[in-house]
Amino acid sequence: MALVTDKVPEGYLREMRQLMMDISNGDATWSNANDIRKKYGLPSLTIDTIRRGALLYSEFNASGWVNEPVNKNIPTKNTTTLDSNGVRTSEKFVALSEDELTDKTALLKAHGYNPVQFELLNAKNSIWQQGDGKGGLKNLYSSRITVKPTDCGLDLEELRKYFEGFKSPRKTEHIRGDISNKPNVVFFSHLDVHFGRISQPYETGVEYNMEIARQNMLSTTKKMIDSVYWNNVEKIVYMVGNDYFNSSFTGYTTSQSHMQDNEGTFNTIFKKGTEALIEVIDMLSRVAQVEVVFVSRNHRRFEDFTLMQIIEAYYRNVEEVKIDASPFPRKYIRVGKTLLGLTHGSDEKDRINGLMQTEAKEDWGQTSYHYWLCGHLHHNDWALRENYGVSVFTLSAMTKMDNWTTKSGYTMADAGCIAFVFDYDKGLSDIKFYYV
């Protein structure tokens, strides 16, 4: 700014201009104006007179105050902070109108937040001037907002449109024969898929994204189907959940508010993840009856449960597919003389040794073989920790590493999945591992 004045002290004008900026920022009030006027020997006025701006305009105009674009390029401001509860603070320069500065949706979009997924808690804007390239100035605003994830960032309208394409009732084309009097049950699962996770080779040494996750699910399912002798299989028990999605509907965090590396919006992740799961279940239903069992996990409780409600509705008229979408964290499956316990394994710790005996007393007393099948730790544990008459298998994960797991050194486990074959009379008869 260049200032030429012979009527009003230059220092007064500069202090008044700064005062107006401070008032705009919320750091001062108009009550300070008379202190400045007194300092420069000017008479005191009512606050209303000063605040209306007519007097100030005449003083600035009479002084010969000239705007010069001496600071055409305002440095880019774009900072974001995040606390443990998912609350975010964003600060950046925005080119918005005065009306838009009071519009919550406009502010959220200007800062790059989806208004469906985030709620505006507070906003603070201060004016900046930038050269317009024509010798004048244009107004920009330094905008600071605080937001938090909404209770549900899922775009329900987008999901509604997506599910309009679903056909119901649906039927599967069978390639299997008679399923009566078949003694074996195949347990199969895709644990810890973390659908939506993204990993880049230059950061983690591996590549992982939604399409790779889908292809891994389909390829291992095909390998399993090709390797099992289906003539003596009654049904497939397919375990779902166990961190199927990588993060929440809101804030891209786990249930414990840990930030995750995600690919795309959650609407896209949810849509593609649902499609991939349906593809797998359809493949399985072509060779045997399928019992889909939901087991909740630690990354995404609500999201995985929502997925299973949709899957249950989708297959409601398909006789070959039965869905257990209950949110109970542990499930028990009776296979002749074998009792299977299914759980994610993140919460029970050593208590798992006594849970089957107390939660499934009747089946426990009528069976000879007892197994826990767990996820969570992302690796195979073939030590078979047998305690209190129960053998515990820890199963591998389908996912590849992300930045956090790579940094922490969790890179030694083989990604893949396992199929168990249980004989009605003899218990566990075969184990098959399929690498991705």
| 168-196 pLDDT, tens digit each | 555 555 555 565 566 799 999 988 888 88
Choice among 39-43, 245-249, 308-312, 397-401 with the minimum mean pLDDT: 245-249
169 and 137 in a single domain? The answer is no
User: Is 294 a residue whose pLDDT tops 70?
Assistant: yes
CATH number of the structural domain spanning residue 229: 3.60.21.10
Tokens, residue 356: 């089957």
Residue 367 in this model has a pLDDT that exceeds 70: yes
Binned at pLDDT 50, 70 and 90, residue 137 comes out as low
Supply the range of the domain harboring residue 130: 78-149
Same-domain check for residues 143 and 160 = no
pLDDT at 372 over 90: no
pLDDT at 389 (0 to 100): 77
- What's the pLDDT at 227? 93
In a domain, 365, yes or no: yes
Mean pLDDT of the chain: 76
Residue 3, in any domain of the structure:
no
Over residues 211-262, the pLDDT tens digits come to 999 999 999 999 999 999 888 899 999 998 777 887 655 544 444 444 567 7
423 confidence band (pLDDT: 50, 70, 90): very high
Residues 238 and 128 in one domain: no
pLDDT greater at residue 2 or residue 65: 65
Strand partners, 245: 195
Q: What is the mean pLDDT of residues 154-175?
A: 57
Answer yes or no: is 5 within a domain.
no
Beta bridge partners of 91: 79, 144
Sheet strands side by side (includes 416-423): 321-324, 289-295, 233-241, 184-189, 416-423, 427-435
How confident is the model over 296-306, as a mean pLDDT?
Answer: 65
Pairing type for strands 321-324 and 416-423 reads unpaired
Tell me, yes or no, whether 351 lies in a domain: yes
- 71 lies in some domain: no
Whether 68 maps to a domain, the answer reads: no
Give yes or no: residues 123 and 35 share one domain: no
% of residues, the chain, pLDDT over 90: 21
> Last residue of a domain, which of 149, 175, 191?
149
Whether 370 has a pLDDT exceeding 60, the answer reads yes
Least Cα distance to 344 among 377, 310, 390 occurs for 377
Query: In terms of domains, do 259 and 342 share one?
Result: yes
Residue 377 inside a domain? The answer is: yes
Task: Please indicate, yes or no, whether residues 117 and 189 belong to a single structural domain of this protein.
Answer: no
The enclosing H or E element of 405 equals helix 403-408
Helices assigned H by DSSP within 74-228: 104-110, 156-163, 201-204, 210-227
User: Which of 118, 149, 180 is the last residue in one of the domains?
Assistant: 149
Q: Determine if the peptide bond prior to 43 is cis (ω within 30°).
A: no
**Shared-domain flag, residues 161 and 264:** yes
Q: Is residue 36 part of a domain?
A: yes
Task: Say how many domains are in the chain.
Answer: 3
